Amino acid sequence: MSSQVRQNYDAQSEAGVNRLVNQFLHASYNYLSLGFYFTRDDVALSKFSSFFRHLSEEKHEQAEKLLTFQNRRGGRVVLQDVKKPERDEWTNGAAAMDAALQLEKNLNQALLDLHKVATSHTDPHVSLAGGVMSPFLSVPTNQLHKTGLKMGILFCVCVLQAWGPLTIQTSLILVNGESQSTYPTPVD
């Protein structure tokens, strides 16, 4: 039986929304796995755990919003198997953050692909440009930025740990008659 509220909703857009739901659930599942990995007694990084568990909840909520959207458009929700996270163990926080960044890039690309399909079928509701879907694009883009910043900070911390204790030299060096500050140097 077809929906009474369905109007100008192309089957490709409908299938794209269902695929996107699956990708958001996959991301949520990955973040949940990461969140609980970092609460293990042999890892115990509570801030990482909080960060990833928050992302898991966020992605799950977005999947539910897409499911609601699908019903309101008269589409049919077709849930698919959610793929297991590729890894259960992580060597360090940087590797986990790198995986998170890749998940966000994949979500962002999936949204752009759905936008392309919706635009080709002139469906303004699925379109990201001012349509109901537009808030979804800003979330992965913002998350990409936040994750990238956190990875940068984490990288700096890892480099500083590898260097060992630092001496901060505050003296100035004259180069061609101009003063320049020196950079921190490792202690031998």
Alpha helices in 123-177 (DSSP H): 134-163
Summarize the annotated binding site as residue ranges: 104
Tokens of 149: 């910043």
185 close to 171: Cβ distance less than 8 angstroms: no
Residue carrying structure tokens 């930025």: 145
Summarize the annotated binding site for Fe cation as residue ranges: 104
